[in-house]
């Protein structure tokens, strides 16, 4: 491609790229694998909207010191223009940008915070499903054993028809006792839990009629899931709050409820939120998320797929800079 040989960042392209002219008040930072698990950190300008002027910096790896060192190659005057940067809860990224962007407020991305609670809820569902699978597998094993024992007993009682009738009836009783439960919608417990994944990820008003029926059965059978689902709803609804102080009160109340009620499934969520509360609350200042960065990552992935992978990292980054810097 024209310009590659004389590109002024060619020499260090695999280590870093910087585009100081693209810096702005609202930035995002995220990581992405370009090839063979090789991670790069991308710093982008929200105002670029994923087009020309979006790329601010590309850094090989995700180490805090490397991120800091590359960002500090941009003049302090330009870095002081940054008032906000959104990121996930990776401590390396937080450490990397804190001193390099002294005027920037750090905002923990809303999606990653909510995902913590949703993942905890799904973990409960998966554990229940594994338990139901064990019950079903044990029942099948019991039936196989009963069938082998029946075959042996029938052979031994070949000249005792009355005994054989009794043996067969006993076997039929065992078969009936070990049949999986079938709910009114046709699901077995294992199927019910498997098919409820997307139900639990949605709010009730987003459910279809079939999903409402399945949710009713699910919550009647597994009250723990019902409780956990409504706790996640309460957690998600905090983000509807417009006032940062009220949001803080609601987050702290949610954490206290989890601890007081010994809701162990949410202990990790509560501790993570508590440890990152300041950055989480910063969302309520401007309500900015890392959606721009996620969208930008998707564009890079699509571009990478269209190129059938990355065979030459330096040339690939050159083409990215042509498109987005």
Domain ranges, ordered by start, for the chain: 16-109+289-324, 113-279
Mean pLDDT, residues 181-204 taken together: 94
What strands lie across the sheet with 105-108, from one edge to the other? 16-18, 55-60, 38-45, 26-35, 84-87, 105-108
Q: Which CATH number fits domain 16-109+289-324: 3.30.420.10, 2.60.120.10, 2.102.10.10, 3.40.190.10?
A: 3.30.420.10
Strand partners, 127: none
- 293-304 b/e (C-beta count within 10 Å ≥ 16 → b): beebbeebeeeb
| Pairing mode of beta strands 105-108, 84-87 | parallel
Query: Is pLDDT of 209 > 70?
Result: yes
Residue 192: pLDDT band (50, 70, 90) is very high
Q: CA 208 to CA 199: how far, in whole Å?
A: 9
pLDDT in the model for residue 43: 95
Instruction: For the chain, give the mean pLDDT.
Output: 92
Percent of the chain with pLDDT over 90: 66
Mean pLDDT, residues 262-273 taken together: 94
Query: Is pLDDT of 6 > 80?
Result: yes
Q: CA 226 to CA 214: how far, in whole Å?
A: 12
Helix segments in 157-188, DSSP class H: 161-177
Q: Enumerate residues 6+ apart whose C-beta is below 8 A from 74.
A: 18, 20, 23, 57
Residue 266: pLDDT band (50, 70, 90) is very high
Mean pLDDT, residues 305-316 taken together: 83
Mean pLDDT, residues 110-132 taken together: 96
Residue 73: pLDDT band (50, 70, 90) is very high
Residue 303: pLDDT band (50, 70, 90) is confident
Q: Enumerate residues 6+ apart whose C-beta is below 8 A from 114.
A: 235, 236, 239
Query: Is pLDDT of 308 > 90?
Result: no
Greater model confidence, 257 or 159: 257
Query: Is pLDDT of 281 > 80?
Result: yes
Mean pLDDT, residues 16-43 taken together: 92
Q: CA 281 to CA 250: how far, in whole Å?
A: 11
CA-wise closest residue to 45 among 16, 82, 14: 82
Mean pLDDT, residues 200-207 taken together: 95
pLDDT in the model for residue 203: 93
Q: CA 29 to CA 168: how far, in whole Å?
A: 69
pLDDT in the model for residue 231: 96
Query: Is pLDDT of 134 > 70?
Result: yes
Q: DSSP code of 202?
A: S
Q: What backbone phi and psi angles, to 5 degrees, belong to 109? A: -60, 130
Residue 159: pLDDT band (50, 70, 90) is confident
Between the CA atoms of 80, 83, 89 and 93, what dihedral angle is there, to the nearest 10 degrees? -20
pLDDT in the model for residue 1: 54
């Amino acid at each position: 491609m024209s310009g590659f040989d004389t590109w002024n960042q060619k020499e260090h392209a695999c280590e870093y790229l910087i585009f100081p002219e693209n810096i702005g008040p609202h930035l995002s930072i995220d990581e992405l694998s370009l090839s063979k698990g090789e991670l790069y950190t991308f710093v982008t300008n929200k105002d670029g909207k994923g087009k020309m002027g979006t790329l601010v910096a590309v850094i090989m790896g995700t180490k805090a010191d490397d991120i800091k060192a590359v960002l500090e190659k941009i003049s302090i005057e330009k870095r002081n223009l940054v008032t906000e940067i959104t990121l996930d809860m990776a401590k390396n990224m937080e450490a990397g940008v804190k001193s390099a962007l002294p005027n920037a407020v750090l905002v923990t991305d809303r999606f990653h915070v909510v995902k913590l609670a949703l993942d905890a809820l799904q973990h409960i569902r998966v554990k229940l499903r594994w338990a139901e699978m064990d019950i079903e597998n044990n029942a099948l094993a019991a039936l196989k054993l009963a069938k082998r024992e029946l075959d042996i007993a029938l052979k031994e009682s070949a000249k005792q028809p009355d005994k054989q009738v009794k043996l067969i009836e006993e076997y039929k009783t065992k078969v009936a006792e070990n049949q999986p439960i079938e709910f009114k919608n046709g699901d077995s417990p294992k199927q019910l839990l498997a098919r409820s994944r997307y139900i639990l990820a949605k709010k009730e008003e987003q459910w279809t009629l079939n999903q409402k029926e399945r949710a009713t059965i699910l919550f009647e059978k597994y009250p723990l899931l019902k409780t956990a689902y409504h706790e996640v709803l309460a957690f998600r609804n905090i983000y509807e709050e417009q006032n940062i102080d009220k949001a803080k009160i609601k987050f702290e109340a949610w954490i206290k409820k989890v601890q007081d009620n010994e809701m162990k499934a949410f202990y990790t969520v509560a501790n993570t939120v508590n440890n990152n509360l300041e950055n989480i609350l910063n969302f309520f200042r401007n309500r900015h998320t890392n959606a721009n960065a996620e969208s930008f990552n998707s564009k890079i992935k699509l571009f990478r797929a269209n190129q059938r992978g990355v065979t030459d990292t330096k040339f690939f980054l050159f083409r990215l800079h042509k498109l987005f810097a």
